[in-house]
Amino acid sequence: MIRKATIKDVKEIQQLIKQYSNRGEILPRSLVELYDHLRDFYVFLQNRKIVGICALHICWEDLAEIRSLAVEEGARKKGIGAKLVKSCLKESKALGAKRVFALTYRPDYFERLKFKVVDKNVLPHKIWTDCLKCVKFPDCDEVAVVKELD
């Protein structure tokens, strides 16, 4: 079951993020950041436990970002991530965004969801705010992917 995150989900969301951020696969998020951006998050529940998360962040008048996509190791390869991304895409479209992007180490995953690999330089500089917190900045090795919405 997919639903929007609630306050009671924050610590569980942070634990899932930590699993991936400790390996350098996604950016870490503090509790303050998670509470500040709670409305961005979708959660996937299985047996009343959060096994997947994904956030939609609005960046600009026509641009949104898929962030913090994470699925517990034991729940991967079951379409949970794709369902979470599709929920974010549906909300993006409803909000009026024309493009959605992600920065990822797995561009092939997003390409299966009809995103296209683009040069990071085509994205507005406003999106790099979070990158300043990354240990890899300014030598980012993530790949930018973009999906044009109908």
pLDDT, tens only, 6-61: 999 999 999 999 999 998 888 889 999 999 999 999 999 999 999 999 999 998 88
Instruction: State yes or no: pLDDT of 95 exceeds 80.
Output: yes
- Spatial CB neighbours of 63, under 8 Å, sequence gap ≥ 6: 97, 98, 99, 100, 101, 123, 124, 127
Interstrand relation of 63-71 and 143-148 (parallel, antiparallel or unpaired):
unpaired
Secondary structure (3-state) at 68? strand
Instruction: Give the list of residues 6+ apart from residue 81 with CB closer than 8 angstroms, or none.
Output: 52, 54, 69, 71, 109
> And the tokens for 10?
């924050």
Cα 51 to Cα 43: distance, rounded to the nearest angstrom: 8
Domains, the chain, ordered by start: 2-148 (3.40.630.30)
Chain segment 103-135, per-residue pLDDT in tens: 999 999 999 999 999 988 777 665 566 665 555
| Cα 148 to Cα 47: distance, rounded to the nearest angstrom | 35
The 8-class DSSP code of residue 1 comes to -
